[in-house]
A and B are shown apart, each in its own frame.
Chain A
Amino acid sequence: MTVHPVRSARSSRGRMGRPSTVLTIAMLACLGYFLLPLVWIAVASTKDNSDLFSSFGLWFADDFSLLANLRDVFTYDGAVYGRWLINTALYAVLTAGGGAFLMAAAGYAFAQYKFAGSKVLFGIVLGSFMIPSTALVIPTYLLFSQIGLVNTPLAVILPSLVSPFGIYLMRVYAEGAVPDSLIEAARVDGAGEFRIFWQVTLRLLAPGIVTVLLFSLVGVWNNYFLPLIMLNDPKWFPITVGLAQWQAKASGGGGAEALFSTVITGSMVSIIPLLAAFLFLQRYWVSGMSLGAVKG
């Protein structure tokens, strides 16, 4: 197989030859399996309560009730769903954004510098990840209630801001993607450490930061148990807790209401912003950026 001279990063990344149809079909088939349950939920959100349990799961029923369901979702219970969406977005963006930056700095420091106590600190970071978070919820609640943070957004944001996993991930990326030669060159140029971090490292770490951001985003968006315990007032609930509350209404025991189609449609709607965020963030992974820095 002939090798063309390297002009752009892409052609040397093992991309030899044109896209393979066989491979594409195989991957699309795999994709089908991953999307199957989601097809179910998309189809299910077009059905009303009775159709849900009497029609074939993967195809539509006779009545197309998507608009009616959507209307129910956004108007039920004093139109609180919209508020929940905003809450979730707020928590997710603040936590993921703030956290990604904090963790990138920490990961870079662990990877780049030797300093007293770095091994111990990193050991603590890693060690704490090994204790399941179920042990943390009640103590965190007790501590936060002492400070008066319970039932506020901070009670949900702070505990999720920094995760041991994120720090570890950033360290790994920093070790792999930030060449010492580059840092040394910048130092020789007279740049201060923080300036190096801000102008050089962040760009190199971009794919890693985006990854951590994405995981953080998803993690906070889907977090259920922490907000359940920390928040009492529904006006601060994120979508997960709110939807679970609606669904619980369907489980009998007095005042029971069947809300299935509303819960299902509400769930489907709640996935969409995450997908949008992912699509938007994907752009930052196609990184010709780091290679430009190396060559330049």
Chain B
Amino acid sequence: MNPSRVVTADTAVPVVASRERNRSVTRRHAIAAYGFIAPAMLVFVATLVVPLGYAAYVSLFRERLVGGTVFVGLGNYGEAVADPLFRAGVLRMALFLVIQVPIMLTIALVFALVLDSGRVRFGRFIRLGIFIPYAVPSIIAALMWGYLYGPDFGLFAQLARRVGLGTPRFLSEDWILASIANITTWEFVGYNMIILFAALRAVPSDRYEAAAVDGAGAIRTAWSVKIPAIRPALLLTVIFSVIGSFQLFNEPQVLWVLAPTAIGNGYTPNLYAFHLAFTNQQVNYSAAVSFLLGIVIVAVSYVVMLATNRSSRS
């Protein structure tokens, strides 16, 4: 029998009193929490939730160039599910996800660990350099990659021919997905690296002390101490890369200028939604496609989160 669980007459009053105090403390905390959240939530609701709600409303109708607008309920969604262009786009993004994301995140993690270990000179310079691609706007990226990928006068093509390898066809339909993956990796390795690096920097030093006492080497420390310590940040990068790869837009748009027939209007679902709204004047269908894509993303993210939770428990 556990003595602390016995409530005697002597201890009854202080227990009741402390319960009261707990409740008021909890209430005070709750008020503080709402206070902290309020400004961000206010802006969030006004600029994201309300437009999203309106977009959802719009997706239930069909506005036609002639003949006015009709209410179609879930008709747009039904059409999107059956749309071969949409389905192909989703499958394409799934393929992209499965290959590009692990490669990119592994590279980012390795870079972050190497830089955090302090065993590299010019650490700051290297960090900046790897991050810069993220800071380059798409309009410039299009110019640069147009030059690099060009089949006749592009840098890679010229180098390949000089070495006798023939002309690589980066912008051909067979290779364009890989070319996009290359650009995306180039752009986001630094971004993910920074997140992981900042997480590593925030790890309290006492974790390392234990490992150091055990005599663990750098790699062992990295594997057993650092990586588990930044699990939340790792999960963050995984989830956002998953979401990002399904929402792929900028990079295919960049290459579309250079290879307009290899990249059709529906190359990615997000690109499809954009074209539906702004080229085809099919705003309602575009909204439905966006929401359907959102549902797909929610499903996939949920699966990913479940999978990582299960693996951590085992």
Contacts and interface: CB of A to CB of B under 8 A. Distances in A.
B33 A118 contact: yes
B67 to A, nearest CB: 21
A217 to B, nearest CB: 9
Max chain A Cβ within 10 angstroms of own Cβ: one of B39, B131, B205, B230: B205
A263 B298 CA distance: 40
Contact of B140 (A131, A208, A210, A267): A267
B106 to A, nearest CB: 13
A195 B143 CA distance: 50
Contacts, number: 304
A134 B132 contact: no
Interface string B120-145: 11101011111111111111110111
A128 B48 contact: yes
A176 B195 CA distance: 13
Contacts of A240: 137, 139
A270 interface: yes
B25 to A, nearest CB: 9
26 contacts: A12-B212, A19-B118, A19-B120, A23-B114, A23-B120, A24-B122, A31-B129, A34-B186, A35-B129, A37-B141, A128-B48, A132-B293, A134-B270, A135-B286, A135-B287, A142-B54, A173-B198, A176-B203, A176-B230, A176-B233, A207-B202, A239-B137, A240-B137, A275-B135, A278-B128, A278-B135
6 A-B pairs with the lowest CB-CB distances in the bound complex, closest first: A135-B290, A193-B32, A15-B118, A113-B33, A109-B36, A37-B144
Interface of A: 1, 3, 6, 9-10, 12-20, 23-24, 27-28, 30-31, 33-38, 40-41, 44, 53, 57-58, 102-103, 105-106, 108-110, 112-116, 118, 121, 124-125, 127-132, 134-136, 138-140, 142-143, 158-159, 161-162, 164-165, 167-169, 172-173, 175-177, 179, 193-194, 197, 204, 207-208, 210-211, 214-215, 218, 221-222, 224, 239-240, 243-244, 247, 263-264, 267-268, 270-271, 274-275, 278-279, 282, 285-287, 290-291, 294
